[in-house]
């Protein structure tokens, strides 16, 4: 404790418990990759097990909404646009509810206590591939799924950790090398001999990435 400019300050040091860090490493985790073709893939690299949710079933619905949205945007029909958006959100919410439930079940079946997902605070790189008129709803769908996974994980006493999304789709989950051309469409093929569905490979990479550490600040 020290006195400075008429105020008392308490200073303390934050120490890291090494033992704790080691046990963090030992926690079993599954990885979840989010996309549009596959809405989500959850994978466990340790066992090679995975589940995927194809966007096929709702793909045509979303394309229909996309078409309608562009028409309404052109006509500047704000009221109808809002109605359409609400309707689409309800459909997406229903699917995200089903998907997040299955992801939690998968994690439990694998005996995992951690679910790792990409930190998509900055999803600029993904937005590039989306039609301008679809960007808002696609981002919304991604974050809604994340919120539902987080909520259901809490109820199941599972931890959700965010990992750095950098090159998760280019990295080989077997040897760790990141090569862009290894990913061709839906197949990932590495020079180390590893071959896998690209989204499953990405879920394995995400599941084994270290958790993003929050910066600690000192308190006065």
Region from 70-78, 157-165, 169-177, 202-210 binding Zn ion, contact rule CB under 5 A: 169-177
Encoding tokens for residue 149?
């996974």
115, 159 contact by CB (below 8 A) = yes
User: What distance, in Å, lies between the first and last C-alpha atoms of the chain?
Assistant: 10
Region from 10-18, 27-35, 148-156, 166-174 binding Zn ion, contact rule CB under 5 A: 166-174
Whole-angstrom distance, CA of residue 135 vs CA of residue 123: 10
What is the footprint of Zn ion within residues 184-213 (CB under 5 A)? Answer: 190, 192, 194
User: Per-residue contact track with Zn ion, 21 to 50, x per CB under 5 A?
Assistant: ------------------------------
Encoding tokens for residue 6?
């008429």
Cβ at position 179, least distance to Zn ion in Å: 8
Helix, coil or strand: residue 117:
strand
Strand partners, 187: 184, 197
Q: Which of 150, 174, 197, 208 binds Zn ion (CB under 5 A)?
A: 174
Q: Compute how many residues bind Zn ion; rule: CB under 5 A.
A: 6
What is the footprint of Zn ion within residues 80-139 (CB under 5 A)? Answer: none
What is the length of the chain? 220
Kindly tell me which of 50 and 53 has the beta carbon lying closer to Zn ion. Answer: 50
Comparing CA positions, the residue from 109, 90, 92 lying closest to residue 43 is: 109
Going across the sheet that includes 38-44, the strands are 49-54, 38-44, 29-34, 114-118, 159-163
Cβ at position 29, least distance to Zn ion in Å: 20
**H or E segment to which residue 195 belongs:** strand 195-197
Q: Which of 104, 141, 172, 202 binds Zn ion (CB under 5 A)?
A: 172
Cβ at position 2, least distance to Zn ion in Å: 55
Cβ at position 170, least distance to Zn ion in Å: 11
Contact residues for Zn ion, defined by CB under 5 A: 172, 174-175, 190, 192, 194
């Amino acid at each position: 404790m020290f006195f400075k400019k008429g105020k008392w300050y308490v200073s303390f040091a934050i120490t890291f418990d090494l033992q704790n860090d080691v046990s963090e490493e030992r926690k079993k985790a599954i990885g979840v990759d989010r996309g549009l073709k596959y809405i989500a893939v959850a994978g466990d690299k340790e066992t090679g097990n995975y589940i995927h949710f194809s966007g096929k079933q709702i793909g045509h619905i979303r394309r229909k909404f996309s078409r309608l949205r562009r028409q309404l945007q052109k006509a500047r029909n704000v009221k109808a646009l809002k109605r359409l958006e609400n309707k689409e959100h309800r459909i997406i919410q229903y699917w995200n509810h089903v998907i997040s439930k299955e992801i939690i079940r998968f994690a439990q079946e694998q005996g995992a206590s951690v679910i790792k997902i990409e930190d998509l605070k900055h999803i600029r790189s993904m937005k590039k591939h989306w039609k301008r008129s679809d960007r808002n709803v696609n981002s919304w769908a991604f974050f809604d799924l994340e919120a539902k996974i987080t909520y259901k994980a809490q109820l199941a006493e599972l931890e959700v950790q965010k990992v750095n999304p950098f090159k998760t789709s280019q990295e080989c989950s077997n040897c760790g090398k990141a090569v862009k051309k290894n990913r061709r469409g839906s197949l990932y093929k590495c020079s180390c001999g590893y071959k896998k569905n690209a989204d499953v490979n990405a879920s394995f990479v995400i599941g084994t990435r270290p958790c993003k550490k929050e910066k600690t600040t000192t308190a006065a």
